[in-house]
Chain A
C-alpha cells in the first residue's frame, strides 16, 4: 500500500446559522459533509472546486484552526484528535505547515524577513539565535532569495518574492505536509510559473507532501498527482490526476473543465460542445435533495433528485453520480471528454 502520510475519514464540518440578538441556532451550513481522502508521502493531492465547495474549510480542519463536527484525521495512522496538547505541539503542528493565498496579508508588515522566517523555529525549538539565523539564511537560499534580504520588511518585496518568503517560513521546521491554500492565484501569470516550478523542485528535494487548494484546473493539473473535485461540501470525483483530466466522468467535472480549458472558438472540434451550466450555486444552508448537483446537471435522471448517489469506484476513479449506477459503466467510460491536442507555439 502506498505510504500514507495523512488520511481524512468522513470529515464533517457544520457551521451554526444564528438569528437575532439571542443568537438562537436556526440552521446549519454543511460546509464539509462527509469528505474522505488520503495524502501519500512526497505526493500532491489537490482539492478543486468553486466557492462554497468547502475546500478551504477542509484545509482549516487539517491545520487544526477549527474543530471538526465529526470524522477523524489520521496522521501517520494515529488519530490526531487523540493527541495530547504536548504531542500536538511536538509531533503534529511542526510537521504540518501552510502557505496562504494573499502574499500581502500572510506576513506581519512590522516584522523583518529575518524574524518572519525564524518565528516557527523560535516558537517550537530551543535553538540559539545564531543557529536559527543560519537556518534562515539557508532557507532563503533554497527559495531563490539573496541572504541579504533578511533585513528588509515585507512591503519592500514584490508578490512573487513574498510568496517565496512564505514558502521558506513553511519549510523552517522540515515539515512532512504543506497545505497550499491557492498558492499562486493572487500572482501574475509570469510570476505564477516561477513559484509553481519552485514548489515542485522543493517537493522532489525534500519528499514533501502537498495538499493544494485551488479553483484553476490548469494549475492543479501541473501540480498534482491525485485530485478531488468538490461541489457543495462533497467530493464528486476523486482519482489520479492524469486519469481524471483525461477521462472526466462526473458531469460537474466535465463542466468545470469545459469552463476552464483554454480553447479558441475555431478550434472547437465538433464532437464536444462546450458545457455551460445553468442556474447558480445553491446555498449551502439547504442543499438540493438527492444529488446536490442535479439542479444544474444536464444529464440528471429521475433518481438524481431523490437519492444521494454513493461515491463508487470505477477503474482508477471514484465518482458520485447515478448515471454510473448500473452495468452501463463501461460505455460511460469511453464517452468521456477528449480535449483537443493542439500543442503550443514553438519556443522562439
Chain B
C-alpha cells in the first residue's frame, strides 16, 4: 500500500441560502494514495464538485462553508491553515482542472503568461528560467511547437488544446495532488481518449495523485484505480474499479451500471431507476437512496446505514450488506 497523500475525514460542506441550509456534502470520508487515480463518480448535484472545491477551500464566500471534518494532506490538516498558508498550497501542492476549457483561461492574456504566472509565484525562478519551465510544462502536456504556441491567445486554440494548456498550468509546479473536475466532458470522444491517455503517462512520469470527478462510467473504467460512488451528498460505495463494475454491492451502484447503454452488446430495454434524486434542502431521514431503492426496508427509511468494510478497501453504506 503506497503511502496515503490525502485523507478526508467526515467532511461536511453546506450552502446557507434564503431557502435554508443546503447540505451539499453531508459527511464523507476517503483517502488517496500517492500516484493513484481516485474516481469520484455520481450524477449531477451529488456533491462531487463541492468536495473538490472544499479540499482547495475555494467555496463561494459567504454562502458556502465547510461546517465539519478534516482534510489532511501529507499529515497537515488544511482546515487549520491560515488563508495565506492555504494560498501557498493552492497551485503548488494541490492544483485543479475545471470542466469547460472555453472559459477556464483568461481571454486577454497569452497562454504563456498564464502558465508563467504560476511558475513565478511558486518557484521564484529568474525570468529566463521561467520561460524554460513554461515550455517544459507545455511539452509535458504534448502541445506541439510550444516555443511558438506560448505567444498565442486562448481563443486561437481548439477546446482540446486549451484543456491541455489548463493541464500545463496545473502541472507547472509538479503538485502532489491534482483534482480534475470533469476535464473531458466538454471534449469529443476521440479527443477525450487522447487526454486520458496523456494523463495516464503524466502520472507515470510525475507520480502525481489524481482525484478524477466525473459522471461518465466509461472514463472511470479507463483511468481510475479506485472509485467512490456519491449520491445526494454521501458516499454510497468505495472500491477498486473492477469490483465496482464486476461485483458492486450497493443497489444504487448496481442500478447505475445497468442503466448505462453498452457499445459491446445490444439491449432492447435499459434498467432505469424510478423517481427523481432528493432535494438537498429536505433530505430523507434514513438512507438517501431509500425512496428509489427496490430493496428498501423500513430501517432504510428512518436510519442512516453505517459504512461497512466488506473486503480489502471495499466499503458500502447499506443495511442490506452485513
Contacts and interface: CB of A to CB of B under 8 A. Distances in A.
B271 A193 contact: yes
Contacts of B267: 222
Interface stretch (B10-18, B115-123, B213-221, B300-308): B213-221
Nearest to A186: B44
Contact of B259 (A189, A215, A265): A189
B194 A189 contact: no
A262 B218 contact: yes
A98 B275 CA distance: 26
Contacts of B5: none
Nearest to B258: A344
A274 interface: yes
B44 to A, nearest CB: 6
Interface stretch (A8-16, A105-113, A250-258, A284-292): A250-258
Interface stretch (A82-90, A115-123, A275-283): A275-283
B59 interface: no
B127 interface: no
Contacts of A280: 158, 160-161, 191
B245 interface: yes
Contact of A261 (B158, B191, B257, B263): B263
B222 A263 contact: yes
Given A190-B255, A345-B254, A281 B158 contact: yes
Contacts of B218: 260-262
Interface in A196-251: 196-197, 200, 215-219, 221-222, 242, 245
A158 interface: yes
A25 interface: no
B264 A193 contact: no
B193 A194 contact: no
A118 B218 CA distance: 39
Interface stretch (A31-39, A173-181, A335-343): A335-343
Contacts of A333: none
Contacts of B247: 345
- Of B44, B221, B262, B264, most A-chain CB atoms within 10 Å: B264
Nearest to B242: A264
A276 B197 contact: yes
Interface in B188-207: 188-194, 197
Contacts of A158: 276
B295 interface: yes
Interface string B249-269: 001001111111111111111
Contacts of A200: 268-269
B257 A193 contact: no
Contact of A264 (B241, B262, B276): B241
B273 interface: yes
A196 B256 CA distance: 15
A339 B264 contact: yes
Contact of B43 (A188, A261, A344): A188
B190 to A, nearest CB: 5
Contacts of A222: 261, 266-267, 270
Interface residues of A, number: 50
B215 A345 contact: no
A217 B189 contact: yes
- Of A196, A217, A218, A262, most B-chain CB atoms within 10 Å: A262
Contacts of A266: 242
A221 B190 contact: no
A263 B263 CA distance: 10
Given A259-B190, A280-B158, A190 B256 contact: yes
A260 B272 contact: no
B189 A259 contact: yes
A262 B263 contact: yes
B248 interface: yes
A277 B254 contact: no
A132 to B, nearest CB: 29
B322 interface: no
Nearest to B220: A262
Contacts of B191: 50, 280-281
Contact of A218 (B44, B261, B272): B261
A218 B266 CA distance: 9
- Of B44, B248, B265, B269, most A-chain CB atoms within 10 Å: B265
Contact of A258 (B193, B242, B256, B266): B193
B83 interface: no
A347 interface: yes
Nearest to B274: A194
Given A50-B189, A262-B217, A218 B263 contact: yes
A262 B221 contact: yes
A221 B266 contact: yes
Interface string B272-298: 110011000000000000000011000
A256 B268 CA distance: 23
A192 B259 contact: yes
Given A280-B158, A280-B160, A344-B258, A245 B263 contact: yes
Interface of A: 50-51, 158, 160-161, 188-194, 196-197, 200, 215-219, 221-222, 242, 245, 255-266, 274, 276-278, 280-281, 339-341, 343-345, 347-348
Given A264-B242, A265-B222, 6 more contacts: A188-B44, A190-B43, A193-B259, A197-B269, A255-B190, A262-B262
Interface of B: 43-44, 158, 160-161, 188-194, 197, 215, 217-218, 221-222, 241-242, 245-248, 251, 254-273, 276-277, 294-295
20 contacts: A188-B44, A189-B217, A192-B259, A193-B259, A193-B271, A215-B188, A216-B261, A217-B189, A218-B261, A222-B261, A222-B267, A256-B189, A260-B263, A261-B218, A262-B262, A264-B221, A265-B221, A281-B158, A339-B263, A344-B258
Q: A-B pairs with the 9 shortest C-beta distances? A: A193-B272, A50-B188, A259-B193, A339-B264, A193-B270, A193-B259, A188-B43, A218-B261, A190-B273
